[in-house]
């Protein structure tokens, strides 16, 4: 279908198990002894896990661990080398893809009706949950921003009524308001979800379980991501303490053996200690993946203003994005640029660093400011013929010792032979780390970063946040990762409504404001009743008949929804039954429900026509 939604398990080329055990009916999907490798890289090694119908699972793991590959296997787009993926016969998968499913000049409502085969009133009702109305619902969908298009795709998924949603990095490039809407939707979604995301705030808000993929193994934790990571860290610290104790014991035994094995009187004791030494083993810590140890350049702190904007107007030849911008950023500040997508955050940053000329006004950087820039998608412009080391040597500040370059490359996980890799073979995450490495080798005392966390895994984003917090220079940045922004930002600048201004509160307060606005909008929408085109006229005449009509419409809509669900349930049971008499009974029941449904829809149409008179 257009949005990439797979609505029926039989469409997926996988192994099926018709679970006979009643206790297994809650298992929607089982991963059993799954193995998958690409060349020498092992992604899955006899990995097993189950997804049940009563939970939302946050799927985590380092970049390149194989999370997206496993989703493709579940969808039937790739095959396992060994093992199986077992789908429950009632499984209805919904998958949010990144490709464009829309037709030319199609409105969001047209797409939802075409994709779901649902009536327009139902499509409009579901679209309303994502604030899709007015021009956003009836205008050309291809003219919407990426965030609004994502809302349309999510509405399409909901209309297909899946019982397991697969979401792969759904918050990438979504503004805060859309993220909050998505969280509200997922918290209210009564079916199961499997969500891949590097955003811990998002996973904490939406998921009650955690599935970790590490070194080919799947581990299920019956709790939120924060509790899982705490337990994981405590376990590793415990193993490190055990190993430290074991090493100390080994050294003690070795000293005793070396001192006493040559003496006849103590030789037997030495032999006994040798056996003890052989039995001592270190705990395996190889499950701990290396983490980027990011260090920002050491710069001399400065006082006063790092940047002044006076009566600045930003935009393009054909339109103005924002005007009347007068603000000041102090040296040492870490400023988060926030606002809804499409309001001009990237335009503002591009204007500050000179990649886009201002339309009017003045931008003045402070004396001695040396500005380094990390732009969205900058990693796509890297020279593919260069190696990692070639690139870092070229972009480093003049006179940077090769050993310092190698040390930073190693800290960013380009170790040993990895520095000789050609850029053309690097993944998106590796290229992003390479760009950050070059930026940190440049010695800049001002960093302007546009979405630096995209394509970085959770651990690397945390390391970057920690490094920026200890950086002596100034940072101006955008990010959709709330955990990252909350950790780094000391000041907030809001872009929206044609203005760029300092936000008077903290980033936490800004998030709370957006959440309240979304709550208020949802409360208003819930209180609204369906109204016809002649609403104003009916209100003017007292509206008594109109109110009765709207009440009847609302009642019929509930009846239609109930009958529709009943029909689907009976059709599903029809597929599963083996008794001919029961099948005949179900067939008659389905015909009865279909007639009642047709009558109800006809009544709804008649009432709508009356309401428009």
* pLDDT score recorded for residue 540: 41
Q: How many other C-beta atoms lie within 10 A of the C-beta of residue 381?
A: 10
* pLDDT score recorded for residue 171: 83
Q: What angle do CA 146, 152, 157 make, to 5 degrees?
A: 125
| Predicted TM-score of the model (pTM) | 0.69
Q: What is the pLDDT of residues 474-489, one digit of tens each?
A: 999 999 889 999 999 9
Q: Tell me whether strands 474-478 and 446-450 are parallel, antiparallel or unpaired.
A: parallel
* pLDDT score recorded for residue 291: 61
Cβ density class 334-361: b for 16+ within 10 Å, e for less: bbbbbbbbbbbbbbbbbbbbeebebbeb
Q: Mean pLDDT over residues 46-69, rounded?
A: 87
Q: Are 494 and 501 in contact (CB under 8 A)?
A: yes
* pLDDT score recorded for residue 379: 67
Q: Is 549 helix (H, G, I), strand (E, B) or coil?
A: helix
Residue 492 structure tokens: 């907030």
What average pLDDT does the structure give for the chain? 81
Q: Mean pLDDT over residues 586-594, rounded?
A: 75
| Residue bearing the bigger pLDDT, 393 or 9 | 393
Nearest to 445 by CA among 299, 294, 295, 296: 299
* pLDDT score recorded for residue 4: 41
Nearest to 228 by CA among 245, 248, 247, 211: 211
| Res 300 pLDDT > 90 | no
Q: Mean pLDDT over residues 499-509, rounded?
A: 91
CA 258, 260, 263, 266 torsion-angle sign: negative
Of the ranges 7-21, 485-499, 531-545, which one carries the lowest mean pLDDT score?
7-21
Q: What is the pLDDT of residues 194-215, one digit of tens each?
A: 999 888 889 999 999 999 998 8
| Res 591 pLDDT > 60 | yes
Rounded-to-integer distance, Cα 494 and Cα 337, Å: 6
Rounded-to-integer distance, Cα 95 and Cα 29, Å: 15
Q: Mean pLDDT over residues 377-385, rounded?
A: 79
What are the CA-CA distances from residue 120 to residues 109, 532, 557, 606 (Å)?
A: 7, 14, 12, 15
* 507 CB burial (10 A radius; 0-12, 13-18, 19+): buried
Which element (helix H / strand E) includes 464?
Answer: helix 458-469
Q: What is the pLDDT of residues 103-153, one digit of tens each?
A: 888 999 999 999 999 998 999 988 988 888 888 899 999 888 777 888 898
* pLDDT score recorded for residue 111: 94
């Amino acid at each position: 279908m257009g949005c990439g939604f797979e609505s029926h398990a039989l469409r997926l080329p996988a192994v099926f198990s018709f679970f006979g055990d009643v206790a297994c009916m809650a298992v929607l999907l089982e991963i059993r002894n799954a193995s998958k490798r690409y060349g020498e890289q092992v992604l899955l090694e006899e990995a097993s896990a189950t997804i049940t119908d009563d939970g939302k699972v946050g799927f985590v793991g380092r970049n390149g661990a194989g999370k997206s590959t496993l989703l493709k296997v579940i969808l039937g787009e790739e095959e396992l080398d060994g093992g199986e993926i077992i789908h429950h016969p009632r499984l209805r998968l919904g998958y949010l893809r990144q490709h464009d499913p829309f037709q030319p000049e199609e409105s969001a409502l047209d797409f939802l009706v075409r994709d779901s085969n649902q009536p327009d009133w139902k499509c409009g009702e579901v679209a309303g949950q994502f604030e899709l109305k007015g021009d956003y619902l009836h205008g050309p969908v291809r003219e919407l921003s990426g965030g609004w298009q994502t809302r349309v795709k999510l509405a399409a998924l909901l209309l297909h009524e899946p019982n397991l949603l697969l979401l792969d990095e759904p918050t990438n490039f979504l503004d805060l308001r859309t993220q909050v809407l998505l969280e509200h939707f997922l918290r209210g979604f009564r079916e199961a979800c499997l969500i891949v995301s590097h955003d811990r705030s998002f996973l904490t808000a939406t998921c009650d379980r955690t599935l970790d993929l590490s070194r080919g193994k799947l581990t299920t934790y019956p709790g939120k991501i924060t509790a899982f990571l705490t337990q994981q860290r405590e376990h590793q610290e415990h193993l490190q303490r055990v190993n430290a104790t074991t090493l100390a014991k080994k050294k003690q035994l070795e000293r005793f053996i070396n001192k006493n094995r040559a003496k006849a009187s103590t030789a037997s004791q030495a032999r006994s200690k040798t056996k003890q030494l052989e039995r001592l083993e270190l705990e395996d810590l190889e499950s701990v993946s290396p983490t980027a140890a990011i260090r920002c350049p050491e710069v001399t702190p400065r006082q006063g203003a790092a940047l002044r904007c006076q009566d600045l107007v930003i935009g393009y030849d054909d339109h103005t994005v924002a005007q009347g911008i007068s603000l000041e950023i102090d040296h040492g500040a870490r400023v988060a640029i926030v606002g809804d997508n499409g309001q001009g955050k990237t335009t503002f940053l591009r204007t500050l660093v000179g990649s886009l000329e201002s339309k009017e006004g003045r931008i003045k950087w402070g004396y001695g400011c040396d500005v380094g820039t990390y732009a969205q998608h900058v990693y796509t412009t890297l020279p593919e013929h260069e190696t990692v080391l070639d690139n870092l040597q070229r972009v480093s500040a003049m006179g940077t010792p090769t050993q310092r370059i190698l040390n930073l490359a190693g800290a960013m996980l380009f170790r040993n032979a990895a520095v000789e890799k050609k850029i053309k073979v690097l993944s998106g995450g590796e290229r992003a780390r390479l760009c950050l490495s070059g930026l940190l080798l440049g010695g800049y005392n001002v960093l302007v970063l546009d979405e630096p966390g995209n394509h970085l895994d959770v651990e690397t984003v945390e390391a970057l946040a920690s490094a920026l917090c200890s950086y002596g220079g100034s940072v101006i940045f955008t990010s959709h990762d709330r955990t990252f922004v909350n950790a780094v930002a000391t000041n907030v600048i809001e872009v929206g409504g044609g203005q760029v201004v300092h936000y008077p509160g903290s980033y936490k307060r800004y998030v709370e404001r957006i959440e309240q606005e979304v709550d208020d909008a949802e409360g208003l929408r819930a209180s609204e009743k369906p109204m016809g085109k002649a609403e104003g006229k009916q209100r003017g005449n007292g509206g008594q008949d109109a109110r009765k009509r709207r009440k009847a419409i609302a009642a019929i809509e509930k009846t239609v929804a109930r009958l529709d669900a009943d029909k689907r349930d009976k059709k599903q049971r029809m597929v599963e039954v083996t008794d001919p008499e029961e099948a005949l009974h179900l067939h008659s029941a389905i015909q009865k429900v279909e007639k009642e449904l047709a009558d109800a829809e006809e009544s709804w149409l008649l009432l709508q026509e009356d309401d428009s008179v």
